[in-house]
Structure 1
């Protein structure tokens, strides 16, 4: 699937990195704050295009404090699972390659300013959905957790 022209504009005009599974490790090695845009299919999630238009303005409002990446449609589902993204559009905030937080859906400008400021001040944390799944055993009376 080809990227929409508005998301391609983030790459061409605003220096966003096109993010694929193959380029993810190199992107995660970047220092500082980074934001990944999961825009989703523009037909199913037209708000993703709105976020793509607003994102450069948000970065400018924070004096370019964060880098940008646009997750490519081909790898969006796989990368979304890694970060627990379940809604489109979503902005995932990283710091020094580690998960900070995610902001889903389009927001009013003042809400974006508040939420992005908070994200840029938040500590790193574990991404939702990452970890070892717990499996319970129902075979016998000895099935319990230690």
Structure 2
């Protein structure tokens, strides 16, 4: 993570960086809903910085209904391919250790709010 707006998520907000499979499992298995931010290449994708600014605002708007983490470079591709959300930047939503849904690329605020409201109310598939 070399972009200052991504670094801000981990330094100012204290969000964890998930660097390996164990980090991902520990983060997503906690009680509640969780979002993993997949930044992609911030140097090539200008939308990455936008999502890095929008996500903390979404977290506040949803009043703690989910917590957030940032995917490290080492796990980013595997995460994206594993859940079939291939475009970056993306937000991957988990609950009870299971992937629920994802939102790729930058969206309008109203679309984010509608999609996240829908995602948070979706049932988790039985294992």
TM-score by length of 2: 0.90
The answer as to whether partners of 1:10 and 1:16 remain within 8 angstroms in 2 is yes
- Where does residue 25 of structure 2 map in the other structure? 25
Q: In 2, distance between residues paired with 1:111 and 1:79? A: 23
The answer as to whether partners of 2:32 and 2:96 remain within 8 angstroms in 1 is yes
Secondary structure of the residue aligned to 1:52 is helix
- Where does residue 104 of structure 2 map in the other structure? 104
The answer as to whether partners of 2:29 and 2:95 remain within 8 angstroms in 1 is no
The answer as to whether partners of 1:92 and 1:103 remain within 8 angstroms in 2 is yes
Q: In 1, distance between residues paired with 2:7 and 2:125? A: 30
TM-score by length of 1: 0.79
Change over 3 Å in CA distance of 1:4–1:74 after alignment to 2: farther
Greater helix fraction, Structure 1 or Structure 2: 2
Of structures 1 and 2, the larger Rg is shown by 1
- Where does residue 69 of structure 2 map in the other structure? 69
Length, aligned pairs only: 125
The answer as to whether partners of 2:92 and 2:103 remain within 8 angstroms in 1 is yes
* Unaligned ranges ≥5, structure 2: none
The answer as to whether partners of 1:3 and 1:72 remain within 8 angstroms in 2 is no
Higher relative contact order (CA 8 A, sep 6+): 2
* Unaligned ranges ≥5, structure 1: 127-146
Runs (4+) of structure 1 moved beyond 4 Å? Answer: none
Offset at 1:15? 2.6
